[in-house]
Amino acid sequence: MNTSRLSPSALAPLPLTGQLLQRPKMNQITMRTQNNNEIDMGPPCAQSLPMSLFVSITPDPVSLVLGTGYHRFKAINGLEGLAKVRDHRLDILAMVNDTGRPGLFRQFIRQAKVVFPTICVWAIENPAVHDALIRYGFTPETEIGFDGVPLHGLRWG
């Protein structure tokens, strides 16, 4: 999708009430906005991101526009970020630790390795995070993104 044709309001956060509606016949989830519009969310989030790692999973408005499949999450240990699951693989695009507690990233990765046979972390901007992932057994990985642009990151499994 060419985002240059989108208005700034199209990329603004959507006013979501958090009301998820399961469509059993279509195996789809729909999000209802504050003005009662429904947004197709695709397959149920619970199938996408296992609740053993996450306490909350919400659709990312920009991901909805671009069709990338990423969801905002809050992990059980307090980390927050953007991730998606495909073919039993966890793809992490962003994570933040606002708790002030050290070691949560390592704990999250350790827990994720139990749940997922493959974990990929993309667009790593922090050299310390890159080095830590190498120590945790990750190796360099390059893939072509949904828009045809190469993605560089690290992969485990």
Structure tokens at 16: 């979501």
Q: Report whether pLDDT(27) > 80.
A: no
Indicate the domain borders of the chain. 15-44, 49-156
pLDDT at 35: 54
Percent of the chain with pLDDT over 90: 50
**45 burial class (0-12, 13-18, 19+ CB within 10 angstroms)?**
buried
- pLDDT confidence tier of residue 75, bands split at 50, 70 and 90: very high
pLDDT at 146: 79
Q: DSSP label at 4?
A: G
Q: 95 or 1: whose pLDDT is higher?
A: 95
pLDDT at 45: 41
CATH assignment of 49-156, given 2.30.30, 3.30.1490, 3.40.630, 2.70.98? Answer: 3.40.630
